[in-house]
Amino acid sequence: MKTANPVEILSRLAAAKVEFIVVGMAAGVLRGAPVTTIDVDIVHLRQPDNVSRLLSVLGQLDAVYRHDPRRLRPNESHLTGPGHHLLTTIYGDLDCLGTIGDGESYDDLCARSPDLELRPGLIIRVLDLPTLIALKEKAARPKDLAVLPVLRATLAETLKRA
């Protein structure tokens, strides 16, 4: 793996017109939370044409399943389902999720995922902080509970500036 570069992963997905939403702590970081994360989580539209574009980018990124010595690559049947695909790429880890939470898909999350300009002219969808906080509360894993105070404080600061 080259040096982790989540912006490169997101840039390539956006440039290829893959329809996706950044979720997980990467969404928190992009929404201003002063935290770090080691991977990028996305929920992608599971329609065949979008999955085809996603697979093309995953090929460019040399994406394979993490922790699998066989270096298996995702395929169309994998990415059209609701499951989670934990991948590693030349620019770091990328988790392609069919759904999150209680089975919420790309379409379910769009209204709560405002656009964000990653860099001039490059727009991506990023889950909003209230939804991210609700998902972390519901998951209630130790790592999720630990970050909730920071996410809540970030949301409070964001609302003050609005």
At 162, the pLDDT band (50, 70, 90 cuts) reads confident
pLDDT of residue 3: 75
Which residues make beta-bridge pairs with 125? Answer: 21, 115
Mean pLDDT for the chain overall:
96
Tell me if residue 88 falls in helix, strand or coil.
strand
Contact 63, 116 (CB under 8 A): no
Could you report the per-residue pLDDT of 41-78, keeping only the tens digit for each? 999 999 999 999 999 999 999 999 999 999 999 999 99
pTM value is: 0.95
pLDDT of residue 2: 66
Contact 124, 23 (CB under 8 A): no
Could you report the per-residue pLDDT of 1-29, keeping only the tens digit for each? 567 899 999 999 999 999 999 999 999 99
Round to the nearest angstrom and report the end-to-end CA distance of the chain.
40
